[in-house]
Structure 1
């Protein structure tokens, strides 16, 4: 008997992503240059579950891309809660709006277009949950910027922290700014005694950072 792929088994025994997210996923794979960047079925269900457990009233996502992760988090958030999501590439606006507008959770989502470093200080919010999934070169700067805005007991999630395994390479070229950015961020979190942290080997690495 043919052995079932472990990822297929996991997904077949987890909740479905639903028709809207499946359509978004297909659309991204057909029409976008880097569809691999979206969170996908498994990580999406995990993000939703985090929101079910944490029950955040205010969440922040840095890096909307297709809004796949945004929609998953909004699914898990209670009525009256809000997720601010920031996308620097305004060419994604039509794609994002196409799917956010169809979601029954669209009232929980506020999309901002522009540079997160400029937008975040203007939000005037205290966040229960932050999801960082944007420019890898700037992870440490995003972290420093949002940390004072996260409540004690709040959770920061950082995506791609294993970066295709490049974080374990012995020599990283000086020109590889993205890998160097992730390495610097991982070392920064390791040394930060204001938080508890663990890297999950999920997809490309997901770091959970709990503020004491």
Structure 2
């Protein structure tokens, strides 16, 4: 299983206990994800989730776009940061994990803000209209470059694009596999994209925040 944090478990736990605690529903979602999915490590953790929620709040986002729903943890976290009339569109094509996500969206008071678009994200993105205030990319890594190209035009000037797993457990520094090389190439693509101002953070498995000029 891919290591999803570059800090020690003790430091990760310390950060968790010194961050705002998520609602009890998120702990249940974590347990269901662990019990019913083959790759529970794909779920964002409580610290990263709280960070995403804060980014939505700080940017005063009204519309959010997410590529990669998984079981819905990050979507629900970001939805909590949206205003009452906010909208979050999330894209996924896994029927089992999408079923879990929909069930938890229905149980949250913020779930009504979320619209899950089922199907290949690149096809869904062709049907969407911007502008979005914030976009979060956390799906299949080989397609990150294609997602970037499709998402950036949908984000408003001054908006934020957030990308997960950009350090890829450190393997982007010495890529060996196809996915390693894809992630390293993606990071170079972002670095050279003059349309945005990127900052790469060492949160969990690495996150890039890129402000659109």
Q: TM-score range by the shorter chain?
A: over 0.9
What's 2:186 paired with? 185
Contact 2:166/2:187, CA 8 A, preserved across alignment: yes
Give the total of aligned pairs: 205
Normalising by structure 1, we get a TM-score of: 0.93
User: 1:43 and 1:160 mapped to 2: Cα distance?
Assistant: 11
What's 1:78 paired with? 83
Shift of 1:117: 0.6
What's 2:122 paired with? 117
Query: Which runs of 5 or more structure 1 residues have no equivalent in the other structure?
Result: none
Give 3-state SS (helix, strand or coil) of 2:64's partner: strand
Residue 156 of structure 2, aligned match among 143, 151, 154 = 151
Aligned ranges 1:46-61 → 2 under 5 Å: 46-61=51-66
List, as ranges, runs of 4+ consecutive aligned residues in structure 1 with deviation greater than 4 Å: none
Shift of 1:157: 0.4
Contact 1:128/1:155, CA 8 A, preserved across alignment: yes
Contact 2:105/2:112, CA 8 A, preserved across alignment: no
**Residues 128-181 of structure 1: CA deviation (Å, up to 9, x unaligned):** 100000010011111111111111000000000000110111xx34xx221121
Cα root mean square deviation, aligned: 1.2
When Rg is computed on C-alpha atoms for both structures, the one with the higher figure is 1
Shift of 1:108: 0.8
Give 3-state SS (helix, strand or coil) of 1:101's partner: helix
User: 2:53 and 2:140 mapped to 1: Cα distance?
Assistant: 23
What's 1:13 paired with? 18
Normalising by structure 2, we get a TM-score of: 0.93
Query: Which runs of 5 or more structure 2 residues have no equivalent in the other structure?
Result: 1-8
User: 2:150 and 2:114 mapped to 1: Cα distance?
Assistant: 21
What's 1:62 paired with? 67
User: 2:18 and 2:64 mapped to 1: Cα distance?
Assistant: 28
The structure showing larger relative contact order (alpha-carbon pairs under 8 Å, at least 6 residues apart) is 2
